[in-house]
Amino acid sequence: MTEKPWLIAETNWKTVREFTYELAVLPWGATEPHNYHLPYATDNMESEYVAAEAGRLAWEKGARVAILPAVPFGVQTGMLDLPFAVNMNPSTQEAVLGDIARSLEGQGIRKLLVLNGHGGNNFRQMIRELQPDLGILLLAADWYRAADWNEYFTEPGDHAGEFETSAVMHIRPDLVRPLSEAGDGNERKFRLKAMKEGWVWTPREWSEITEDTGVGNPKLATPEKGARFLEACTRNLADFLVELADTDPDDIYESE
């Protein structure tokens, strides 16, 4: 038996009681279609992989990090007409996050990082509302922003494009259908100028903007590209976890 004390889902009480954990990481994904060639749980697999690998690297550097099981459902209000796109409203997410945070706080954990893997999730406003009533420090990060994907991909794409396809090709190649079967991921853009420019926003209705549920062309994806990008993200995240583990949550600001 190989112990992985940083992976709470795979460890046990006998092992956990031997350590004082300094922070917890909560991967959070979604269940939704990803073009014709990627699995519904793509966002979960990616966030779990990055969290687990970053947790391992951080643990090896002495940071006592606990990687929690992933929350597999995200905000899918723009995909409600697509089978098995399971929606969890932001208000429900806030309730779930609050329950998890209060549980950990009562057990002596002082820091909790939400590691997001789904573009439709946004935890900032939830944390703004929850934080004043909690003694545990809440943080949030999109794992795929831990490195600049433009340095690794020609056309990263928004959803099931080159970036995500490459990542899953590395993590779970057995679940990726041949790229010859993938759609081209063409996206219908908004008609209004300000919305095209990005300074006016509204949620996208997925069935209106794409035929194959993808946004971004996956044809240039390779597992090697995915491996390089994932390595960069996990390394940067691990460095942050080491720093965060060593930081007093009541002393996170620089002195003047």
DSSP class per residue in 21-89: --EEEEEE-----BTTTB-TTHHHHHHHHHHHHHHHHHHHTT--EEEPPPB--B--TT-TTSTT--B--
> Tell me, what DSSP letter sits at residue 252?
-
The closest of 2, 8, 139 to 69, measured between CA atoms, is: 8
Residues 23-45: tens digit of each pLDDT: 999 999 999 999 999 999 999 99
Are the beta carbons of 192 and 198 closer than 8 angstroms? no
C-alpha angle 88/234/39, rounded to 5°? 45
In sequence order, what are the residues at sequence separation of 6 or more whose Cβ sits closer than 8 angstroms to the Cβ of residue 174?
none
Are the beta carbons of 229 and 167 closer than 8 angstroms? yes
Residues in the chain: 256
Tell me the pTM: 0.96
CA 97/CA 7 separation, integer angstroms = 19
Domain 13-245 has CATH 3.40.50.970: no
Q: Which residues of the chain have pLDDT under 50?
A: none
Place of tokens 């009480």: 13
H-state helical runs in the chain = 13-16, 42-60, 90-106, 124-130, 162-171, 193-197, 206-209, 223-245
Looking at the chain, the whole-number percentage of residues with pLDDT higher than 70 is 100
> Tell me, what DSSP letter sits at residue 151?
G
**pLDDT in the model for residue 1:** 64
Are the beta carbons of 46 and 171 closer than 8 angstroms? yes
Residues 51-94: tens digit of each pLDDT: 999 999 999 999 999 999 999 999 999 999 999 999 999 999 99
CA 253/CA 251 separation, integer angstroms = 6
Nearest 10 degrees: CA dihedral of 52, 55, 59, 63?
-160
> Tell me, what DSSP letter sits at residue 111?
E
In sequence order, what are the residues at sequence separation of 6 or more whose Cβ sits closer than 8 angstroms to the Cβ of residue 60?
none
| 3-class DSSP assignment, residue 9 | coil
